[in-house]
Every structure is written in structure tokens, then in C-alpha cells.
Structure 1
Amino acid sequence: MSRDSHRAISGQAVARLLLAAGAIRVSAAQPFFLAAGWASPVYVDCRLLIGRPRWRRSVTDLAAATLARAPACEFEMVAGAETAGIPWAGFLAERLDLPLRYVRRQPLGIGRNAQVEGGPVEGCSVLLVDDLITDGSSKTAFVRGLRQAGAVVTDAFAIFHHALFPGSQQRLDDLALRLHVLAGWEDLLRLDPGEGMEKAERAVLEAFLADPVRWSGSHGGREG
């Protein structure tokens, strides 16, 4: 199976899991405010996939297969981003039999004042793992924290990528970071009507995707 075929199949599989878990929430009347400040009528809660063994095993297997197909993606350990990335990093590290670390947004300020926990990373190639990516802004702190601790970080993995908001790809490029993801909005929209979102919810999503920055600004969120 080609990498593109695997991406399409895995993306739809994750989309179905997210729907089954109730992880796709739609609210046109009361927008959600994302960590980066954007307003959105839809919210993806990948943490709900942790709840059942079958769901988390399926996502972990798809993640391992996706990374195995990624060219020049080599790493010696896995680091979870505080906080939602930590369990997924743990599942993936166990699946791949690799050392596990986790990285905070900033040093704790007490004790060792560490930003990276779980052991040393100096001189090691580390895969950064998070549950989702909005506009990439939070990844800067995680990548810099790992690199300041001596890690080599060239790749990051996320279950879901919004891939909507300006500056996302530029931030990743500035960090020299390659992103590997399982699913995005396009995978939800590819599902057959009978297994995907309700018609009214899909209409809300499509209106948002047509101009997410304008939608955000007109609903009290960031405008750019």
C-alpha cells in the first residue's frame, strides 16, 4: 500500500473513531475558543479516544504504521507534549519499545526546574507527540524545550491537524519540523453521509472551513 493510500484509509478510520467517541462537537450558537485564541463552531477532543482500549489501540497502531511509512523519520525516543500528548506518547513508546519522556510548556519553577521529564534527552533524536495541532504556536515551546535539553527534534506527530489557520506551516518551517498526522477535517467530510456528521452539523463545518479566520473574528475570536 502506498503512503497516500495509507493516509486516506487511516484518516477515515480515525474520523470514524472520533465520531464514535463523541469527540467531534458542533455548536454554531456558542463557539468554542481554542488554545491559540481562535473561535470555532467545532471542537475535537482527542482525549476521549483514551477512554476505551480498542480505540486507543487502533489509534496507536495507525500511528506506528504512519511513522513507519514516513521517509527519513528516525527517532530514538518519544516525548509527549504537556498534557494531552503525554498518554499518546506513552502508548506509542510502549508499542515501539522506545524510551519515553514528556515536555512541559515551560520549566516547572520548583525542584530541578526541568522542562523535560523522565530522563535525559541529550544527543538523542526525539519524536514530539501531541494529540492535535491548531496553528502550531504551542509546538514552539515544546520543541525549544527539548532542543535546549540537548535533543535532536526533526519530527512531530499528532492525531488531528486543523490545518486551517494562517501561519501554521510557517511556524513548522521556522522550527525545521516535519509534521505527521493521522486525520484532518477533509477525512470527516469524505465519510458517507450515513456514517458521518449530521447534515446540519456538516453545513456548519463547511461554512466555517470556507473562511475560518473571518468566522473566528466575527464570533469573538482572533482575526489573524
Structure 2
Amino acid sequence: MTAATILPREDVARITARALIEVQAVHLRPSDPFTYTSGLKSPVYVDCRKLIGYPRLRATLMQMGVGAMAREVGLERFDAVAGGETAGIPFAAWMADLMGLPMQYIRKKPKGFGRGAQIEGAFKEGQRTLLVEDLATDGGSKVRFAEALREAGAEIAHCFVVFHHDIFPDSANAMTRHGIALHTLARWSDVLKVARAEGALDAADLTDVEAFLAAPLAWSAKHGGIDRIDV
């Protein structure tokens, strides 16, 4: 196992926010909103997959991720790491490598051929699994991945993401109701703080983003998206 980088949460959040801005993973487009998988319209999109193209940066973030789990949970609380199809797979692989644990990945639905498997990799019933994803919005997909792991016989109580939008007050609570604690390196408040302090993003666009973050469903509905989220 590689030594974890254990830093205070505030330092981790600042470094992560700066990294996302640095590699242009934060996209602002208020005049032509993005559409999330849920149907939510948003003036902003965070693409954590950009991080896979920057080896030094991603290594630092993953070390801080392992450090966050050590700080908040403990490293001997897990027997395996699992990533959700598809964006969570590389992050889960890096985390598993640093933690010295086996890794699986979870399909969005079972294969319709062969073994019909939904969990891929060397799986042991009863394993205490850390679910890893790139980001979380409303928490719905994380709950579905966790349910698939539980149906296969795994124990799942923790989920790690690089970035949590943290725009729906009930998202983390919904995961808690399903017995899952959510851990993250950075949230929108962290990105906005760094962007404002360093003048890294257009100030007018940031104002639009802040309006969206204050009332995401109302902003979405006004721009042709959904007006409710069911988790």
C-alpha cells in the first residue's frame, strides 16, 4: 500500500478545486445550458474525466482520496473497491491500487449474454466494499450501484467521489437513508471560492452559476429542464 496523503479537508478542497479549474474540467455555459442524465438543465458542467489525462495531478488527488478515507473512516474497514460503469472505473482502479485492495466494476445493468454478470472482477460474498465514482449530483446512480453490490452479497456503507455537486439538500441524506456515507474531495462551494479568489473564471458566468446553485430546480425548469428530483 502506498502511504496516503492525509491533509485537512480545507486544504484538500482547495487543491482539488484548483486542479479542476486548471485542467478546464469546469465548463460554464449559461446561455446554452447543459442537460444532465436526470434531465436537469444546468449552466455548468464538471467533467472529472478530464483528470485521467494528467498523471501527476490525478495521482495527487487519488492519494488525497485515500487520505480522506483514512481520516474519515479508516483503511482497514475495506476488503475491496468497486467502480461504477463507466466514469468510476479508472478512479476505482487507482484507489484500489493505492489501498492495496482488489477491484471490481459494476455495470449499469446485467449483461444480456454469457454469465449475465453485473459485477465484474474477483468477487467475494460478504466483502466490505468502497464504492468509487468520479462525481455525485443527486446520488441516484450511487444508490443503484450500491443495491447491485448488496444483491451480489457485498457490504457497502461508504462511497467516495472526487467531486460532489452538493446542490440538492436531500442528496446526501438520501444516500444516508440507504445506508451509504458520502465522502468527497471538493464541492461547488470550494470551486466558487477558489475561482472568485483567483479570478480563474468569468465573473458574470459565476453569478449565473451561483443563481443556479441557490435554486437548481427552479433554474432548470426556467430553462426547459426538470423541476423535481426523486432519489
User: Please, what TM-score do these two structures have when normalized by structure 2?
Assistant: 0.91
- Alpha-carbon contact 2:84-2:145 (below 8 Å) kept: yes
**2:3 corresponds to which residue?**
none
Unaligned segments of structure 2, at least 5 residues? 1-6
**1:54 corresponds to which residue?**
56
Deviation string for 1:26-84 (max 9, x for gaps)? 00111111112211000000000000111110111110110110136711110001100
How many residues were matched structurally? 221
- Alpha-carbon contact 2:104-2:119 (below 8 Å) kept: yes
**1:129 corresponds to which residue?**
132
**2:145 corresponds to which residue?**
142
Question: Aligned AA for 2:215?
Answer: D
Match of 2:37 among 35, 46, 49: 35
> Within 2, Cα distance between the matches of 1:59 and 1:119?
26
Question: Aligned AA for 1:24?
Answer: V
- Alpha-carbon contact 2:83-2:133 (below 8 Å) kept: yes
Per the TM alignment, residue 222 of structure 1 is displaced from its structure 2 partner at its CA by 1.0
- Alpha-carbon contact 2:102-2:122 (below 8 Å) kept: no
- Alpha-carbon contact 1:28-1:204 (below 8 Å) kept: yes
**2:65 corresponds to which residue?**
63
> Within 2, Cα distance between the matches of 1:25 and 1:121?
40
Question: Aligned AA for 1:190?
Answer: K
> Within 1, Cα distance between the matches of 2:173 and 2:112?
31
Structure 1 segments (4+ residues) deviating >6 Å: none
Query: Does structure 1 residue 215 correspond to structure 2 residue 212?
Result: no
**2:119 corresponds to which residue?**
116
- Alpha-carbon contact 1:121-1:146 (below 8 Å) kept: no
Q: Percent identity?
A: 42
Match of 2:198 among 194, 198, 208: 194
- Alpha-carbon contact 1:36-1:134 (below 8 Å) kept: no
> Within 2, Cα distance between the matches of 1:120 and 1:205?
42
Unaligned segments of structure 1, at least 5 residues? none
